[in-house]
Amino acid sequence: MIASFGKALAQLPDPRFRRVLLLGIVATLAFYLLLYLGIGWALAQLQLFGVTWADRLTDILGGIAVFVLTLVMFPGAVTLTLSFLLDRVTEAVDDRHYPTLPPPRRQAVGELAWGAVRFAAVTILVNLVALPIYLLLLFVGIGVGVYYLVNGYLLAREYFELVAWRRLEPAAADALRRAHAGRLWLSGLAIAILSTVPLVNLVAPLIGTALMVHEVEALRRDS
């Protein structure tokens, strides 16, 4: 896993990696700008109290709340956007490290779309469900540990399937994942930790995808 992680980090300067990251950030910024303008317009039209100063105060507080939420949720939104672009990262890794491999398995559009949507949805859903547990356990000092345990498993599975389905049928990929669950969990743990570091979390999806390409190829070679 360490060797795979090193290769993933070494490829970060790849122009195709930078292009994917830039596309993800620009698309997310555009989305947030439209969202911010839309909410701002709605607040301006909404007269809750019918009193000028009270309605203006509501507009200001609402605008501040939207701005703060935008900052807090920005890394997660970038990750969501990147989940639809990560196939370009896998191609870049293949071209650099595995040029002799045959072309990837042809995946139906529905399978690709489902994989991207599930990748984002499962990550969001699991953390929303687990949030009360995280907060409760945070008071006894083990909330962070539980967060990494859960997300290590979750991210390992999602990144593995995102990559492995390119080369293997889903059933074969699932069997390979089960056979090497511990090793893959360590990879997911590394991705989870990177995802919580400010600024680094923006490139965590790129590192995670490249890391898992190397892991999948190593496991396929050893099987």
What does the DSSP 8-state code read for residue 124? Answer: H
Number of domains in the chain: 1
How far is the C-alpha of 123 from the C-alpha of 159, rounded, in Å?
A: 11
**pLDDT of 14 higher than 70:** yes
**pLDDT, position 153:** 87
118-151 pLDDT per residue, tens: 766 766 666 666 666 656 666 666 666 777 888 7
Q: For 42-60, give the DSSP string.
A: HHHH--SSS-HHHHHHHHH
What does the DSSP 8-state code read for residue 197? Answer: S
- For range 202-219, the mean pLDDT: 91
How far is the C-alpha of 83 from the C-alpha of 24, rounded, in Å?
A: 9
> CB count, 10 Å around CB of 32?
18
The per-residue pLDDT of the chain, averaged, comes to 79
Which has the higher per-residue pLDDT, 213 or 83? Answer: 213
pTM over 0.85: no
33-91 pLDDT per residue, tens: 777 777 667 666 665 556 566 667 766 776 676 666 665 555 556 666 666 788 889 99
Q: Which domain holds residue 190?
A: 2-222
Residue 194: pLDDT band (50, 70, 90) is confident
